[in-house]
Amino acid sequence: MRSIWRTLDRGLARDIGLVCLADCLVGVSYGAIAVSSGFPLWLPMLMSLLVFAGASQFMFIGIVAAGGNPFAAVLAGLLANARHLPFGFAIGDVLGKRWPARLLGSHLMSDETVAFAMAQDEAPRRRGAYWACGLGIFVFWNAGVLAGAFAGTAITDTDVFGLDAAFPAVLLALVLPSLRDKAARWPVLAGVVAALAATPFLPAGLPVLLALAGVLVGVTAKEPEPQEAR
């Protein structure tokens, strides 16, 4: 573990720390929203320990709180986390070869840990960034959820504080840089249009699933490779 921390320079450690702090604040909003929506105090804490996937956790709470089917909420969460399959192929080398380390590393996998790992050029720095970010987010996220869950017992309306907007705001901040790529803009736009169009007509949770139609747009809208001049 010491070798992992030694591979981090001050700038990388600062960036990871800021991400951990941001996720902690999002965890506070998640815990408060879950408890104030009527879920028992232990549920958001247990989900954060065992599921540890912010998007899926928010999705489950939101769908069930809106009257949606819990099975649909679980399915939506699984589909949202399907992106971890290609993530695993991309950063499999940083998890090590021992099964305990690989299982723990898979549990700590998130958009942030993969992004930090992929941004490093050398293998030791990739491993250090991944594990430092993964362990840091796990601790800060669960601490935030714990604080938010207890705060949620005293908050009757989270909309007053805008807590429900915290997670979408963080996701938007992460997505915006990638929208500079034309190939990424069209799938996102298609998913947004599909979800917004279906929201007035379908039960809670299903419009989110329909937003995955944007993936099909991304697959079919690939620009043809330029032909070599003869």
The string of pLDDT tens digits covering residues 3-15 is: 555 667 788 888 8
Q: Looking at residue 196, what is its pLDDT?
A: 79
Instruction: Calculate helix-pair angle for 123-152, 42-50, nearest 10 degrees.
Output: 170
CB-based burial label for 18 (10 Å; 0-12, 13-18, 19+): exposed
Instruction: Convert 120-133 to b/e letters by CB count within 10 Å (16 or more is b).
Output: beeeebbbbbbbbb
Tokens for 204? 């809670």
Query: Distances in Å between the alpha carbon of 55 and those of 23, 30, 75, 117, 144?
Result: 12, 10, 13, 20, 15
Amino acid occupying residue 190 = A
146-197, pLDDT tens digit by residue?
998 888 776 555 555 555 555 555 556 556 666 666 666 777 777 778 777 8
The Cα-based distances of 95 to 45, 90, 121, 181 in angstroms read 26, 11, 16, 30
For residues 59-66, give the mean pLDDT.
Answer: 83
Higher-pLDDT residue of 64, 156: 64
* Rounded Cα distance, 129 and 15, in Å: 10
**Beta strand residue intervals within the chain, DSSP E:** none
Backbone angles phi, psi at 221, to 5 degrees: -100, 15
pLDDT at residue 175, as a whole number: 60
Residue in the structure block whose two tokens are 């604080």 = 147
